[in-house]
Amino acid sequence: MSRKFTQAIVIGLGQFGTALARALAERDVEVLAVDVLEERVRAVAPDVTEAVCFDATDTEALARISPERRDLAICAIGDEARDATILCTALLRQLGAPRVIARANDELLARILRLVGA
């Protein structure tokens, strides 16, 4: 069964997150791209619907982008910030994101992310 997403948030604009944001945008998904580093936000901005710079572990900032109104939220924060990945995933679920996908490069992180709602 294939599911069509029309609006997505991609948080974390390293190589993986940037490639994912661009690939979704090429498939006519409205992409809101988020990163804490301004240069990453500027680099992807021409290719997505909107790109914003803030810390995705900040509940108030995350709430301002209305994750509950998007089809999909993807936490693509890099491996060097495991705590941020876990917190961001939990906050997205708490804020009502209907579907959250989070990147995990090992089984322990994958289990933790499933426990918090990915």
pTM for this one? 0.92
Report the percentage of the chain scoring pLDDT > 90: 85
Q: Where are the domains of the chain?
A: 7-115
Q: Does the pLDDT value for residue 93 go beyond 90?
A: yes
Domain 7-115 of CATH type 3.40.50.450: no
pLDDT of 2 reads 55
Non-local (6+) Cβ contacts of 46 within 8 A are none
For the chain, what is the mean pLDDT?
Answer: 93
Q: Does the pLDDT value for residue 38 go beyond 50?
A: yes
Residue with tokens 């997150």: 17
Non-local (6+) Cβ contacts of 109 within 8 A are 82, 85, 86
